[in-house]
Amino acid sequence: MAKHRARLDRQFDKLQQRIPPQGVRLLTSLRRPEARWIRVPLGFLLVLGGIFSFLPVLGIWMLPLGLLLLAIDLAFLQGPVNLAIVRGLRKWTVWRRARRDRKLQR
């Protein structure tokens, strides 16, 4: 489980490099151990909001964010969330490269 936790921390560090400074401050404060009482209910609310993404205000983006927050505290989610992040980033990279290559061919 320590391996999954370390990998999850690395994924959060990579995420923090890609988001705006306000988001980095928020994510840093949410990652602190004493923020568990905020992180767990917020994670559940985000997952619930992601499930109801067909409603106008809610969106599917809430689901992965909620799972990320929950994975910090729930060890059984760390492995699957890590796997989803790694696979998702690989697919995103492949898609972007293919898109770039198509533009260069034109």
* CB distance 12 to 31 below 8 Å: yes
Q: What is the pLDDT of residues 27-50, one digit of tens each?
A: 899 999 999 999 999 999 999 988
* Whole-number pLDDT of residue 64: 87
pTM (predicted TM-score): 0.78
CA dihedral 19, 93, 4, 38 (to 10 degrees): 30
* Whole-number pLDDT of residue 71: 93
HSE at residue 47, side-chain half, CA atoms within 13 A, is 12
* Whole-number pLDDT of residue 22: 92
Residues with pLDDT less than 70, the chain: none
* Whole-number pLDDT of residue 95: 92
Domain edges within the chain: 2-105
* CB distance 62 to 50 below 8 Å: yes
* Whole-number pLDDT of residue 59: 82
* Whole-number pLDDT of residue 63: 87
